Amino acid sequence: MKKAIIATITLALALGASAADNVKATVHADQPGAKINREIYGQFSEHLGSCIYGGLWVGEDSEIPNINGYRKDVFEALKALKIPVMRWPGGCFADDYHWMDGIGPKDQRPSLRNNNWGGTIEDNSFGTHEFLNLCEMLGCEPYISGNVGSGTVKEMAQWVEYMTSNGDTPMARLRRQNGRDKAWHVKYFGIGNEAWGCGGNMTPEYYSDEFRKFNTYLRDQSGNRLFRIASGASDYDYNWTRVLMDRIGHRMQGISLHYYTCSGWGGSKGSATKFNDDQYYWALGKCLEIEEVIKKHKAIMDEKDPYNRIGLMVDEWGTWWDEEPGTIPGHLYQQNALRDAFVAALSLNIFHKYTARVKMANIAQVVNVLQSMILTDQKGTGHMVLTPTYHVFEMYTPFQEATFLPIDLESEIMQVSKAYFKEKEGARDAGYRPCPLLSASAAKTTDGSLVLAVTNVSLDKDQTIDFSIEGYQPKTVSGRILTSKRVDDFNDFSHPDVVAPKDYSDAKLKNGVVSVKVPAKSIVVLSIK
């Protein structure tokens, strides 16, 4: 029986499951869905702040232990994540990037001013070779973001030839002169970035024509076949998607979508580690709103592409808070609390659900920027720390290439007044943003076992969930849990394991039902065999 909850001024609990009874849920192993594309676990590395320099790259002569110039500790941590794809060199940086500046002897490469991110002088010591070699070492697909905004058709066409041609072509010969004989495999190529904004402030009609022009000259080389990604919409701009689907159509294999959990683009976005309960639930509600955004873009794509040949690529997503005090303005260095881990888990659960259309997602960004996997010490001590978001990605690795299984799950819903942030969000967001307290995702892995992730974002209420599994007989269950005393807890260089996974033993099997006790403020990932 559902119960009524009295609303407060800014927060309210909607009708939900009774607190006295266990929540009942069903995993439909007998109704398998699409394969969960491993590229959903993609990363994003931009020349922004210390993401590249001091994050991924320190150079061969650095006192910090490195492998051919790549930070050894960062490399090993990323290798453990089984990263499927990494996007580079931006972001907005890509719209000012001219690739020939980043090849050849490092001491002869010209520098440039990073106009988008703090005016930092970029020395181009990390360029095409350094990025593509890193992807090879990590075993991940490179995703190149090409410069439409300030670049030329010839420049982009030559870049593709430089990277992928094994013939006796001018750009292949230049690559060999620079020390790389064999071409790289480059699958994903973005034709522009945020063409509606920093990538040229274009209309969707104009950008569609630019895409068609640039695309004409990006020829597949030496058996390498490009997966061509158009610069898609920012969150709620459904017209952009409709115009591109109409005007570009199947000339593209993917269309991007950018969505940030952010309180607005003017003024303070709030602290990553200092927030109240209202701000906490609001952020998770904002994060979950991406499902409605995906559904609306998907509906347009389904209408124009009923055979599902064009993928939706959420190639920028995550939290965006204020920079940490004392850090360089424009470098977007932010801490990463347990709240961010919830944003990661909830978002991934949604991407799993829509994996038939969502072919890739790239969290922003991999090191030292926004909702990163890893933080490195900005004072040069060589310290590294794994963030709570890293731990979610690591715990979720069994979902890569597994088969999605639908779940029936009821949850109490926290309703956060959008009016609480009306000055930042505007009239469009009048009303309430729902935040279900429970979320779950299930899949069947390639070895025949099940992986089940359960998230309880409640600040104060433990919850027991009884999962019936249709079409599967569970015999054993084991798992891990990610939680902490407070949702604003985080890891730093002095306390690197405040938020870290631990073994979990509160899942029980009885009569084919998996009963899971999920404490408040926790993420549980189970392996069921």
Residue 445: band (very low, low, confident or very high) from pLDDT cuts 50, 70, 90: very high
Residue 15 has pLDDT above 60, yes or no: no
**What is the spatial distance between Cα 146 and Cα 98, in angstroms, rounded to a whole number?**
9
pLDDT digits (tens, 9 = 90+) for 407-432: 999 999 988 766 555 544 443 445 67
How buried is 192 (Cβ within 10 angstroms: 0-12 exposed, 13-18 middle, 19+ buried)? buried
Percent of the chain past pLDDT 90, that is, above it, reads 88
Q: Which CATH code is given to the segment(s) 11-33+406-528?
A: 2.60.40.1180
The two three-digit tokens of residue 139, written as one number: 């075993």
Residue 8 has pLDDT above 60, yes or no: no
Residues 250-271, mean pLDDT to the nearest whole number:
92
Residue 228: band (very low, low, confident or very high) from pLDDT cuts 50, 70, 90: very high
Q: Which residue has the tokens 């930042």?
A: 424
Residues 81-100, mean pLDDT to the nearest whole number:
97
How buried is 346 (Cβ within 10 angstroms: 0-12 exposed, 13-18 middle, 19+ buried)? buried
Q: Which residues pair with 518 in a beta bridge?
A: 463
Instruction: Report cis status (omega within 30 of 0) of the bond before 91.
Output: yes
Q: Which residues are catalytic?
A: 194, 316
Residue 299: band (very low, low, confident or very high) from pLDDT cuts 50, 70, 90: very high
Q: What is the pLDDT of residue 263?
A: 81
Q: What is the pLDDT of residue 196?
A: 98
Q: What is the pLDDT of residue 418?
A: 62
Residues 377-381, mean pLDDT to the nearest whole number:
72
Residues 202-208, mean pLDDT to the nearest whole number:
98
Residue with the larger pLDDT of the pair 419 and 75: 75
Where are the domains positioned within the chain? 11-33+406-528
Q: What is the pLDDT of residue 13?
A: 38
- Report the mean per-residue pLDDT for the chain: 92
Which residue, among 273, 204, 280, has the nearest Cα to 245 in the 3D structure? 204
Provide the residue count of the chain. 529
**What is the spatial distance between Cα 174 and Cα 320, in angstroms, rounded to a whole number?**
40
Residue 481 has pLDDT above 80, yes or no: yes
What are the DSSP calls for 332-391, one per residue? Answer: -----BHHHHHHHHHHHHHHHHTTTTEEEEEEE-SBSSSS-SEEE-TTSS--EEE-HHHH
Residue 47: band (very low, low, confident or very high) from pLDDT cuts 50, 70, 90: very high
Strand, coil or helix: 254: strand
The two three-digit tokens of residue 494, written as one number: 């002095």
Q: What is the pLDDT of residue 20?
A: 43
CA neighbours closer than 13 Å in the CB half-sphere of residue 94: 26
Q: What is the pLDDT of residue 16?
A: 41
Q: What is the pLDDT of residue 226?
A: 98
Q: What is the pLDDT of residue 424?
A: 43
Helices and strands (H, E) in the chain, number of each type: 11, 28
Residue 188 has pLDDT above 80, yes or no: yes
pLDDT digits (tens, 9 = 90+) for 450-460: 999 999 999 99
H helices of 139-183, in order, are: 153-164, 170-177
Which residue, among 79, 82, 183, 166, has the nearest Cα to 128 in the 3D structure? 183
Q: What is the pLDDT of residue 268?
A: 86
381 neighbors 373 (Cβ within 8 angstroms): no
